[in-house]
A and B are shown apart, each in its own frame.
Chain A
């Protein structure tokens, strides 16, 4: 899932300073699962905003709405009947959702209430961890199912580096060395011979270096 983090209330309040009527949009997908921008988080943020404004003696009207997704226009269209009643849209979706809402309602300022951080997994209730950087050229078949791009701080393809110590990364003692994980997993799979093979220089044009990416399936187009 896409993992996000709520912005601080102070930052959100600063963005909202000129506005009194706010449409607060949550998203029922990834940000709900990572507890950053689902229906519950919409409720909590709305409540915080109302209390903050009440404390300052200022008015604020907040319409709380959580869409199934903010990355598909069918769902974004659901707020069209009343979007005109509000001065600003505050979105709790990931960066993709926020931008798509902004594209659909061009005359409305659309503000982000979360910082979109990574593609990851749930380690345990309340703990999420990065697993993928969407580089566009997956090498997991070579590295024992552990991604060297996302899990090595340097994204080394032939690691580890000298900063690996007791299985931990030099950037943070809490972070596992990605390459230690790869070697351990290759050992478990009896595929340690793969470690001897040098992975060639990566073509980063499939990643962000090639500019914004697009995927088209002609057979699905209407």
Chain B
């Protein structure tokens, strides 16, 4: 399809969004990212039955933690798409990039983080 999506989006591959632990998300923010989104399979289509639904709940939980910390839960989102929806993948990347850009850099960003840590 040769679709374009913003270069600021870095992909971390996991076998299933059910693998994404609360700590993985928090560590990403600690390492200096401005936003995180999970791209899981469509609801009801999980190969592991409920991985994406578990991820959805965790995202909601971590949104609460980010609000509590003061970074704002809006910096974290969950998207659902099938592996055949490349268009949707690029759209989500653009949507999230625009949203995070509007929010500005993470207030927890440390100078070290910018050097690619």
Interface residues of A (CB under 8 A from B): 8-10, 40, 43-44, 47-48, 50-52, 54-55
A44 to B69, CA, bound (A): 11
Contact of A44 among B65, B70, B107 (CB under 8 A): B65
Partner of B71, one of A8, A10, A44, A51: A51
- Asked if B14 lies at the interface with its beta carbon under 8 angstroms from chain A, I say no
A15 → chain B closest CB, angstroms: 15
Task: State A88–B65 Cα separation when bound (angstroms).
Answer: 24
How distant is A213 from chain B, measured CB to nearest CB, in Å? 37
Q: Give Cα A67 to B26, complex, Å.
A: 23
- B68 in contact with A10 (CB, 8 Å): yes
CA distance A55 to B75 in the complex (A): 14
Q: Give 21 CB contacts A-B under 8 Å.
A: A8-B68, A9-B65, A9-B69, A40-B23, A43-B23, A47-B23, A47-B30, A48-B26, A48-B65, A48-B68, A51-B69, A51-B71, A51-B108, A52-B69, A52-B70, A52-B108, A54-B107, A54-B108, A55-B69, A55-B71, A55-B108
How many contacts A-B (CB < 8 Å)?
42
CA distance A9 to B69 in the complex (A): 7
Tell me the count of chain B residues lying within 8 A, CB to CB, of chain A: 15
In the bound complex, residues from chain A placing their C-beta under 8 Å from that of B89 are none
- Report yes or no: A51 in contact with B29, Cβ–Cβ below 8 A: yes
List of A residues within 8 angstroms of B30 by Cβ: 47, 50-51, 54
Report the Cα distance A8→B26, complex, angstroms. 17
Nearest A residue to B67 via CB reads: A9
The CA of A144 and the CA of B16, in the complex, are separated in Å by 46
Given A54-B110, A55-B108, the answer on whether A47 and B70 have CB atoms closer than 8 Å is no
Q: Which residue of A lies closest to B65 (CB)?
A: A48
